[in-house]
């Protein structure tokens, strides 16, 4: 059982908006640690998607955005595309969420 809790799966049709939640505790997100997000396409290494809660590395489309509150965080993807189908992981301090599989219908 992961320290950060994510929904196992989410889905959406092309063009729609989806969100993925990441719930932590007073030991990680609640303690002030930043939240980071990664995208993992099948058979590849994770790729940094969002760092320090709401920052995008160069090259990541602005369709991806992050937010954080007291003990939780969210990743939002707008204008869903087929290529977004992947596993998504949140991270805070040294702990990861269990991952969320995004299916584009």
**Which residues bind to another protein, rule: CB under 8 A?**
2, 34, 36, 38, 45-48, 51-52, 57, 89, 91, 93-99
How many beta carbons lie within 10 A of that of residue 59, not counting itself? 6
Closest approach of Cβ 50 to another protein, in Å?
9
| Residue closer to another protein, measured from CB, 72 or 91 | 91
| Residue closer to another protein, measured from CB, 13 or 44 | 44
| Residue closer to another protein, measured from CB, 13 or 43 | 43
Strands 64-68 and 9-12, by their bridges, are: unpaired
DSSP letters along 61-77, please? -TTEEEEE-SSEEEEEE
Closest approach of Cβ 94 to another protein, in Å?
4
φ/ψ of 28, rounded to 5, equals -130, -90
Closest approach of Cβ 15 to another protein, in Å?
29
Q: CB–CB of 34/53 below 8 Å?
A: yes
| Residue closer to another protein, measured from CB, 90 or 104 | 90
- The residues with which 5 forms a beta bridge, in sequence order, are 23
């Amino acid at each position: 059982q992961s320290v950060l809790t994510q929904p196992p799966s989410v889905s959406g049709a092309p063009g729609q908006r989806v969100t993925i939640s990441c719930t932590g505790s007073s030991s990680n997100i609640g303690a002030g640690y930043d939240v980071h997000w990664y995208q993992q396409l099948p058979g590849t290494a994770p790729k940094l998607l969002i760092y320090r809660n709401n920052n995008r590395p160069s090259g990541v489309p602005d369709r991806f955005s992050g937010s954080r509150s007291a003990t939780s965080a969210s990743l939002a993807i707008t204008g869903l595309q087929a290529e977004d189908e992947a596993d998504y992981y949140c991270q805070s301090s040294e702990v990861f969420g269990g991952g969320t599989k995004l299916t584009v219908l």
